[in-house]
A and B are shown apart, each in its own frame.
Chain A
Amino acid sequence: MMITNLLTTYANAAPLLAQGLCMTLQCWIAALCIALPLGALWGILRCNQLAQPIVCNALDVFTFMLRGIPFYVQLLVAYFVLPALFNIDIPASLAAAGSLGICSAAYVSQIVKAGINAIDPYQWEAAYVLGYSTSQTLRFIILPQAFKNVLPAIIGECDQLLKTTAVFSTIGILDLMGVGKNIVAQELNPLSIYSLIALLYLGLSSLLSFASAVVEKKEQA
């Protein structure tokens, strides 16, 4: 009887949860599209070999703020404070993906910076004496090596980003968590719904952990 009730609850919730899952994945991919290129650029500008004092100081202040303020607060600022300050309308999904992407870029930049700095500085000099320009050195020598160094950590950051999307429901986004909350409010069955949502997040996270393990294994080979 209990199992039948559970299956009925899941069957009723499935279409909404699927929509929520789609929204979660859309927000996650949008945040990644901001975090990865922005973080990579930021990390490159911040590496030891290319560091310019003014740019570095500005980026360091920005990184300090983004890493020091909880993401939930940043989300509320993006959704409630910025529209009020500049008298503009920011859709919830844009505020969510934008704020998460920028916040995550600060973390990605630190990973990229560390990955580039870990490369033997003589590689820059070797490229220089062979006639490479700075951009050619980055493209052909430094970044291919740094990419290998940072890939596991970047996949870890992607995983973290996915799980952080769960707070988007607080500004009304109907992602997996938001849909789940609504279903719980209607069905009054938090245990089964939240357990299923937890399992779905765990499944997605496991896929990324698996990808990370494959990458690490490939690197060791």
Chain B
Amino acid sequence: MINITQLTKKRSNKNVQKTVLSNVTCAINSNRITLLVGPSGSGKTTLLRCIAGLEQLDEGSITIQNKPLKELSNAERAGKIGFVFQNYSLFPHLSVLENCIQPLLVTKGIDRQKAVKKALPLLKQLGIETLQDFYPRQLSGGQQQRVALARTLCLEPQAILLDEPTSALDPENTVILSTILQKLTKQNVAIIISSQDVPFIKSIAEKICLLEEGKLMAETDTPYEQLEASSKIARFLL
């Protein structure tokens, strides 16, 4: 579904240039949850940002369903890739419902009634339908995250990227999130998550990519329980 080929991303600060991602090549398929794991600064978030089109690539390419990412229009890209930020980035001046329907009104041009009809079942599915008139500042971290997920899902993307989704969640909300994500994969959605939360990774990962210092060191499609104890990924997750 998403093919990343020889991706290199550099950052420069004054005269110092740092390679954040180096020759990363991997494929991400639908129907499964892919975890990007690695220590802090290994390039997990940058890789997600590259896939979301938020970063200019220095080398390499990203294709989504065989179409280069850079050739997609804004609306096309949003229909294929959704991104849930670590800090959720909800629009503070809009209510929960408005946060979810405004992208539909603005970028897809559908009428308000249809947008509401589309958003309400999603809010219900995520257990936040009673919060539709609340503003983001009135919600807890877990609720904000579900709103961010609902906002993304309204656009029906084929892949959803989540950056450190459990960093502000308690165990109960982490379980709720895992259940929601597992349900989504059954709807043919590809889920790509960057995380350092080892229990969460172990419980949910169907594919794991290990990044270290911007390089893809290992990847596996084997569930965590069946990994060889000596493998790099198993050792990282110990």
Contact = CB atoms under 8 A, between A and B. Distances in A.
Contact-size category for A: 10 to 19
B65 interface: no
B215 interface: no
Contacts of A129: 52-54, 77-78, 81-83
Interface string B121-162: 000000000000000000000000000000110010000000
A29 B194 CA distance: 54
Contacts of B102: 140
Interface stretch (B24-32, B85-93, B170-178, B179-187): B85-93
Contact of B54 (A128, A131, A144, A148): A128
B198 interface: no
Contacts of B93: 144-145, 148
Interface stretch (A74-82, A117-125, A187-195): A117-125
Nearest to B148: A126
Contacts of A120: 89
Contacts of B16: none
Contacts of A131: 74-75, 77-79, 103, 106-108, 155
A133 B107 CA distance: 8
A130 B87 contact: no
Given A144-B93, A145-B92, A145-B93, A126 B85 contact: yes
Interface string A105-144: 0000000000000001011011011111100100011001
A24 B27 CA distance: 69
Contact-size category for B: 20 to 34
Nearest to A129: B83
Contacts of B54: 125, 128-129
Contacts of B79: 131
B106 A140 contact: yes
Nearest to A130: B103
Contacts of A130: 78, 103, 107, 151-152, 155
Contacts of A136: 106-107
Contacts of B151: 130
Contacts of B91: 123, 126, 141, 145
A133 B108 CA distance: 12
Nearest to B79: A131
Interface in A137-161: 140-141, 144-145, 148
A34 to B, nearest CB: 28
Given A128-B53, A144-B93, A145-B92, A122 B85 contact: yes
A148 B87 CA distance: 22
**Which of B74, B77, B92 has the most chain A CB atoms inside 10 A of its CB?**
B74
Contacts of B85: 122, 125-126
Nearest to A144: B93
A131 B54 CA distance: 12
Contacts of A133: 74
A132 B92 contact: no
A123 B151 CA distance: 14
B168 to A, nearest CB: 15
Nearest to A126: B89
Nearest to A134: B74
Interface in A67-89: none
Nearest to B52: A129
A145 B91 CA distance: 9
A10 B78 CA distance: 68
B93 to A, nearest CB: 5
Given A129-B54, A133-B74, 7 more contacts: A129-B77, A129-B81, A129-B82, A131-B77, A132-B74, A132-B103, A140-B102
Interface of B: 52-54, 74-75, 77-79, 81-83, 85, 87, 89-93, 102-103, 106-108, 151-152, 155
8 contacts: A123-B89, A125-B85, A125-B89, A130-B103, A131-B106, A131-B107, A131-B155, A144-B93
3 nearest CB pairs, A to B: A131-B78, A126-B89, A131-B107
